[in-house]
Amino acid sequence: MRISCIIPAFNEERLIGGCIDSIIRNSHGRVVEIIVIDNASSDRTADVARQKPGVKVVREEQKGLGYARERGRRASVGDFLAYIDADSRMPEGWMSTVEQEFRDHPDAVCLSGPPIYFDATPLQSLLLQVLWWALAPLAYRAVGYMVYGAHFVVKRRALDAIGGFNCAIDFYGEDTDTARRLRKIGNVIFRVDFRIITSARRFQAQGVLATSLIYGLNFLWPAIFGRAFSMRHTDVR
Query: What is the CATH number for 152?
Result: 3.90.550.10
User: Would 221 be classed as within a structural domain?
Assistant: yes
Give residue 229's pLDDT: 65
As a whole-number percent, the residues of the chain with pLDDT over 70 amount to 93
- Assess whether pLDDT exceeds 70 at residue 228: no
| Per-residue pLDDT, 211 | 77
Q: pLDDT tier at 236 (50, 70, 90 boundaries)? A: very low
- Per-residue confidence at 108, pLDDT binned at 50, 70, 90? very high
Q: Is the pLDDT of residue 106 over 70?
A: yes
Q: What is the pLDDT of residues 122-153, one digit of tens each?
A: 998 998 888 888 888 888 998 999 999 999 99
Helical segments of the chain, H only: 16-26, 45-50, 65-75, 94-104, 122-130, 136-143, 156-161, 174-182, 201-206, 208-225
Amino acid at 135: L
Give the model confidence (pLDDT) of 9-56 as tens digits: 999 999 999 999 999 999 988 899 999 999 999 999 999 999 999 999
Residue 134 confidence (pLDDT): 84
Residue 230 falls within a domain, yes or no? Answer: no
Nearest to 215 by CA among 130, 102, 131: 131
Q: How confident is the model at residue 171 (pLDDT cuts 50, 70, 90)?
A: low
User: What pLDDT band is residue 185 in, cutting at 50, 70 and 90?
Assistant: very high
Expressed as residue numbers, the domain containing 45 is: 3-225
Q: What percent of the chain has pLDDT over 90?
A: 69
Q: How many domains does the chain have?
A: 1
What CA–CA distance (Å, rounded) separates 115 from 88? 9
pTM over 0.75: yes
The verdict on residue 236 lying in a domain is no
Amino acid at 82: A
Residue 234 lies in a domain: no
pLDDT attached to residue 1: 87
What is the rounded average pLDDT of the residues 184-212?
Answer: 89
